């Protein structure tokens, strides 16, 4: 491609794309658009830029992409995820191209185009095509029309001087790693040997991992069903299957009837960690369990599945009424029941009946720093101060729920975080103030894509997984 062609208008534009680059979503994959049935690329770029502007304004990525009309959402989300994974580089390039930050809508569109085009090998479309269609998007949107010439000039200059501009941004850690500077520094402090690998993992696409419902089938049988419909996978953990490629959930055999659920391999450790070795205070009595902070219900469902024939008296808490309904939907799909309460787990006086629990699962609110590859917006939404504020909430929840555990019972504390303040430091502080608690063998910090620690999780190959933290606490018998 010569620069003269790249700078000219292409009235009969042929969209060139790389299909393997556009398959991305947290739970169900999206297919790359085709020239025959896809919406115009300029429209997808408009919507991806609008989502980016919303995220910059504090809206979650889930909500931002959910607002896109259904038929356009797959392609827009795939583009948007790639933008979020390379936003640090795009913003550094924009600073090289423009002395002043343009208005929010124009800046979002400009950064969207730069994020997608800066690396030609990773770009889903030819860079000159992205530039042409980004300018078209600017012209067709009243909110960016006045900046269309400016966007055109910046992007044409980028095509001409790409190598020099990219070289200049290599000096900036945020551009190199595509995370906020404070996030990079925290990882360097918390994981001095692994911080680079964690950041690299964050910028990759997560695999699609399923949890097989062992009350309905087994892993080997379900792998056979997947192979029969052309969806090969491999077994991970006790009841997991990792697909070779992601697919919409409705394509999965038996999904609507609860034969499987989408759940990362690291998250699948929670239920067996709590249940293994746990017995009711009275032989033959139902095992009394609490799943605190339970929405959307994946771990509640897994507790029921992993319990096998054991009777459970299971309470599932969620503070948000809307999210609480998702727990009920999850349970209905797998054909299970639990007591679902809309309540604040940190205020037991408002919902607890006074009877102790054999086991409590506390999947505490956290920064979600371990699941950034599934939710690439998280790194740009979080502030440095959020870690401290969430650590306070985690400590409050631990202190509030620990008295509800019976002597000899257990509490499993977990977060989908790789920050030590939300993991090992939190548990060290708890143990220092609760002499009746002891830490049982636990996975601790699982870093994304590391696989399981053979010593601490002896019988599970987790494969490719998210970052997580687990600490299993047992209360001293009387």
**What pLDDT is attached to residue 283?**
73
Model pLDDT, residue 282 = 66
Query: Residue 302 above 70 pLDDT?
Result: yes
38-56 per-position pLDDT tens digit? 789 999 999 999 999 999 9
CATH code of the domain in which 313 resides: 3.40.50.150
Q: How many CA atoms lie within 13 A of 27 on its CB side?
A: 11
Domain that holds residue 232: 209-262
Same domain for 253 and 278: no
Q: Which residues are designated catalytic?
A: 416
pTM: 0.89
Per-residue pLDDT, 167: 97
Residue 408 falls in which region: left (phi positive, over 0), alpha (psi -120 to 50) or beta = left
Q: What is the pLDDT of residue 462?
A: 79
My answer on whether 327 and 467 are in the same domain is: yes
The pLDDT of residue 454: 34
pLDDT of 460 higher than 70: no
Instruction: Give me 386's structure tokens.
Output: 């959020």
Same domain, 238 and 358: no
Residue with the two structure tokens 């830490």: 439
Does 25 have pLDDT greater than 80? no
pLDDT reading at 24 higher than 60: no
Query: pLDDT tens, 339-385?
Result: 999 999 999 999 999 999 999 999 999 999 999 999 999 999 999 99
Mean pLDDT of all residues in 23-27: 47
pLDDT at 140 over 50: yes
Q: What is the mean pLDDT of residues 20-32?
A: 43
Q: How many domains does the chain have?
A: 3
Taking the CA of residue 245 as centre, how many other CA atoms within 13 Å lie in the half-sphere pointing to its CB? 12
The CATH number that applies at residue 85 is: 1.10.940.10
Domain boundary among 200, 233, 262: 262
pLDDT at 455: 37
Q: Evaluate whether residue 335 is within a structural domain.
A: yes
Cβ–Cβ under 8 Å, residues 276 and 407: no
Q: Mean of the pLDDT values across residues 68-92?
A: 96
Q: Does residue 144 form part of some domain?
A: yes
If asked whether residues 407 and 295 sit together in one domain, one would say yes
pLDDT at residue 9 tops 70: no
Rounded Cα gap, residues 38 and 270, in angstroms: 41
Largest CA distance in the chain: 82
Joined tokens for residue 72: 């356009």
More confident residue, 208 or 35: 208
Contact predicate 252/231, CB 8 Å: yes
Query: Which residues partner with 290 through β-bridges?
Result: 315, 360
Residue 461's pLDDT is what?
72
Asked if pLDDT for residue 30 goes beyond 80, the answer is no
DSSP letter at 433?
H
């Amino acid at each position: 491609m010569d620069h003269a062609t790249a700078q000219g208008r292409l009235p009969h534009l042929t969209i060139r794309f790389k299909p393997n680059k556009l398959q991305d979503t947290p739970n169900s994959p999206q297919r790359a658009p085709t020239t025959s049935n896809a919406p115009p690329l300029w429209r997808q770029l408009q919507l991806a830029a609008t989502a980016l502007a919303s995220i910059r304004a504090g809206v979650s990525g889930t909500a931002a992409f959910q607002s896109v009309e259904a038929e356009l959402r797959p392609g827009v989300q795939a583009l948007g995820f790639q933008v979020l994974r390379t936003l640090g580089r795009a913003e550094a390039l924009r600073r090289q191209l423009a002395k002043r930050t343009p208005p929010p809508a124009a800046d979002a569109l400009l950064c969207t185009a730069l994020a997608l085009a800066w690396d030609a090998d990773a770009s889903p479309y030819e860079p000159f095509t992205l530039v042409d269609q980004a300018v078209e998007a600017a012209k067709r949107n009243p909110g960016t029309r006045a900046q269309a010439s400016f966007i055109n000039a910046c992007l044409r200059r980028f095509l001409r001087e790409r190598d020099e501009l990219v070289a200049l941004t290599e000096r900036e850690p945020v551009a190199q790693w595509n995370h906020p500077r404070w996030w990079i520094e925290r990882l360097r402090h918390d994981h001095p040997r692994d911080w680079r690998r964690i950041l690299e993992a964050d910028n990759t696409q997560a695999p699609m991992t399923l949890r097989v419902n062992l009350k309905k089938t087994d892993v080997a049988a379900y792998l056979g069903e997947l192979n029969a419909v052309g969806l090969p996978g491999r077994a991970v953990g006790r009841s997991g299957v990792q697909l070779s490629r992601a697919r919409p959930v409705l394509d999965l055999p038996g999904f609507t009837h609860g034969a499987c659920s989408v759940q990362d391999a690291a998250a699948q450790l929670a239920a067996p960690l709590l249940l293994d070795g746990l017995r009711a205070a009275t032989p033959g009595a139902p095992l009394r369990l609490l799943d605190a902070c339970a929405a959307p219900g994946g771990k509640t469902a897994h507790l029921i599945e992993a319990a096998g024939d054991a009777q459970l008296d299971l309470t599932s808490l969620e503070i948000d009424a809307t999210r609480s309904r998702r727990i009920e939907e999850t349970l209905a799909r797998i054909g299970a029941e639990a007591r679902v309460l809309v309540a604040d787990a940190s205020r037991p006086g408002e919902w607890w009946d006074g009877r102790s629990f054999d086991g409590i699962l506390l999947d505490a609110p956290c920064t979600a720093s371990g699941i950034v590859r599934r939710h690439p917006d998280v790194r740009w939404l979080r502030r440095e101060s959020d870690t401290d504020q969430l650590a306070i909430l985690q400590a409050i929840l631990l202190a509030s729920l620990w008295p509800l555990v019976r002597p000899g019972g257990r509490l499993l504390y977990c977060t989908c975080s790789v920050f030590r303040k939300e993991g090992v430091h939190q548990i060290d502080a708890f143990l220092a103030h609760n002499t009746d608690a002891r830490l049982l063998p636990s996975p601790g910090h699982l870093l994304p894509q590391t696989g399981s620690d053979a010593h601490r999780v002896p019988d599970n190959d987790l494969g490719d997984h998210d970052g997580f933290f687990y600490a299993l606490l047992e209360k001293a018998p009387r």
